[in-house]
Structure 1
Amino acid sequence: MLIAQITDIHIGFDPDNPAEYNRKRLDEVLDVLIEGPNRPDLLLATGDITDRGDADSYRRLATAFSRCPFPVWPSVGNHDLRDNFHARFPGFDDGNGFVQYTVELPELRLVTIDTLEEGRHGGAFCERRAAWLDAELAKAPARPTYIVMHHPPVESGIEWMNTHPDEPWVATFTDVVRRHPQVRGLICGHLHRSVTVAWEGRTIAICSSTAPQVSLDLRPIDENHPDDRPMIVAEDPAYALHRWNGRELVSFYDHAGAHTMLAKYDERLQPLVRELKAERPG
């Protein structure tokens, strides 16, 4: 089972441009997923799928996704608006208006939750969302489960993008997860950076963005004294592949830019491949 992830697409940042830069970057990633050697079984789009939450951006996004030969499972981030999302992507409502749902796969479950509070950049998770998640996890206590969400509930070190561990929503979410040991990990976005971190005995896999990335700068930042540091950088559009091997989810991070080949599998490398495979049991 191969699960692809894209995040922080930010369609509509340049709304009047038919050749929008963020749409071009999205299409480059979709080209790799559709035409490359690792075509996934499904694609997760983990929030901030639009930049302003406007109806036209969701329309354009649905058009972009329509060429995918695999199902696309979208969710919302702090740049999205639920009403416009639901109008274009119906069927992902948990009954309370939140974008929460479960994808049942042959060997595991993906439970998507909604961490959007409209008008706030950081995450949110209220008691109604927590009750839904608690009940949803209780339905399959023995099945390996991964929670899909936009905001990671951890402090990353990129100070202006941080989630503070004492934020109330983090405590509400953590209390639910602690009751359900079948939750193996979280799949997140938001940081515009690929990050892996241990949390509550689980693994959080955070994917870089298809839109331009946040600069990797771990120095403190002073909100009262701009210092001209880079904030957003135009690295290649990124994506993740999460491979379920029957035991655990293995996460890979890649980009849609050029990959210069330095070696290929030909007769010269065949002995190495044989030697490496012969070392393994079975």
Structure 2
Amino acid sequence: MLIAQITDLHIGFDPDNPAEYNRKRLDEVLDRLIEGPNRPDLLLATGDITDRGDADSYRRLVTAFSRCPFPVWPSVGNHDLRDNFHAHFPGFDDGNGFVQYVLDLPELRLVTVDTLEEGRHGGAFCTARAAWLDTELAKDSAKPTYIVMHHPPVESGIDWMNTHPDEPWVHRFAEVVRRHPQVRGLICGHLHRSVTVAWEGRTVAICSSTAPQVSLDLRPIDENHPDDRPMIVAEDPAYALHHWNGRELVSFYDHAGAHTMLAKYDERLQPLVKELKGERPS
């Protein structure tokens, strides 16, 4: 099974522009997923799918996703607004107004949780959401499970985007996850950077954004003294492919820009392919 992920689309950043830069970048990624060699079985859109949470941006996203020949499973981030999300993406309400749901696939489960607190940039995870997650995870303790969420509960090292490990929502979320050993890992966004980190004995796979990326700068930042460092950079729009091989989820990170071919599979490389495959157990 091949699971694609896009995140931090920020549609509506330039709302009056019919050729919006962020929409163009999203379309480039969708083109690659639809027309490229790795067409996924499903697509996760892990939050900040709009920039302002306005109804028109969600409407435009419905149109953008309508051409996908695979199902798209959206979630919310700190730039989204739940009421407008639910109005255009119905069916993802957990019964309490949160965007939380379960994909029960043949070999694994994907459990999407809502880390949005409207008006706050960082994550949130209240007792109601924790109770829902605890209940859903308890329904199947055998099947490998991955939690899909916008905010990663880890300290990344990009100072102005960090999540502090002592934030109450992180402790509340961790308490639930610790009770369920079938949770293998987390699939996240928010950082506008591809990052892999261990957390609570699980792998956290964080995908870069389709919108412009956060500059990779691990120096401390002083909120009282701007130093003219780059903050946002226009690297190619990115996405992730999470491949379930029957045993574990293998995450790849790619971009939708030009891929210059330096070698191709022809008669010259055929002996190498035969040799490499021949070394494996039959």
The two structures have a TM-score, normalised by structure 2, of 1.00
Equivalent residue number for residue 174 of structure 1 = 174
Q: CA deviation at 1:185?
A: 0.1
Superposition misfits of 4+ residues, deviation over 3 angstroms:
none
Q: Please tell me whether residue 197 in structure 1 is matched to residue 181 in structure 2.
A: no
The secondary structure found in structure 2 opposite 1:14 is coil
Paired with 2:165 and 2:202, the residues of 1 have a C-alpha distance of 16
CA distance in 1, matches of 2:242, 2:167: 29
In structure 2, what is the Cα distance between the partners aligned to 1:16 and 1:79?
18
- Aligned residue pairs: how many? 282
Shift of 1:267: 0.3
In structure 1, C-alpha distance between the alignment counterparts of 2:195 and 2:90, rounded to whole Å: 31
2:196 match: secondary structure: strand
* 1:182 Cα deviation from its structure 2 partner: 0.2
Secondary structure, counterpart of 1:87 in structure 2: helix
Q: Deviations over 1:237-261 (max 9, x none)?
A: 0000000000000000000000000
- Aligned residue for 1:187, secondary structure, equals strand
Deviation at 1:220, TM superposition (A): 0.2
The alignment yields a C-alpha RMSD, in angstroms, of 0.2
Using the alignment, how far apart are the partners of 2:189 and 2:259 within structure 1? 24
Which residue number in structure 2 is paired with residue 224 of structure 1? 224
Compute the displacement of 1:279 (Å).
0.2
- Write the distance in 2 (CA, Å) between the matches of 1:130 and 1:199: 18
- The Cα offsets for residues 95-121 of structure 1, whole Å up to 9 and x where unpaired, read as 000000001111000000000000000
Q: Distance in 1 between matches of 2:197 and 2:240?
A: 15
Q: What SS does the aligned partner of 2:85 have?
A: helix
- What's the offset of the Cα at 1:234? 0.1
SS in 2 for 1:264: coil
SS in 2 for 1:186: strand
- Structure 2 matches for 1:1-282, cutoff 5 A? 1-282=1-282
Shift of residue 269, structure 1, vs aligned partner: 0.3
Deviations 1:153-195 (CA, angstroms, capped at 9, x unpaired): 0000000000000000000000000000000000000000000
1:54-110 CA deviation, whole Å, 9 max, x = no partner? 000000011000000000000000000000000000000000000000011110000
In 2, distance between residues paired with 1:174 and 1:33? Answer: 33
**CA deviations over 1:129-165 (Å, ceiling 9, x no partner):** 0000000000000010000000000000000000000
Cα distance in 2 for residues equivalent to 1:93 and 1:101:
7
How many Å separate the matches in 1 of 2:94 and 2:178? 22
Matched residues in 1 for 2:221 and 2:173: separation?
28
| 1:242 partner SS | strand
User: C-alpha separation between the residues in 1 aligned to 2:266 and 2:200?
Assistant: 45
SS at match of 2:205: strand
SS of the residue corresponding to residue 227 of structure 2 reads coil
Q: Which runs of 5+ in 2 are unaligned?
A: none
Shift of 1:32: 0.2
Q: Distance in 2 between the 1:42 and 1:103 partners? A: 11
In 2: Cα distance, 1:201 partner to 1:245 partner: 20
1:134 alignment partner, SS class: helix
| CA distance in 1 between partners of 2:198 and 2:156 (Å) | 11
Alpha-carbon distance between aligned partners in 1 of 2:251 and 2:280, rounded to the nearest angstrom:
22
Q: Quote the Cα distance in structure 2 between the aligned partners of 1:202 and 1:274.
A: 36
Matched residue of 1:175: which SS? helix
Cα offset for 1:39?
0.1
Identity rate, percent: 91
Secondary structure (helix, strand or coil) at the match of 1:103 reads strand
Q: CA deviation at 1:27?
A: 0.1
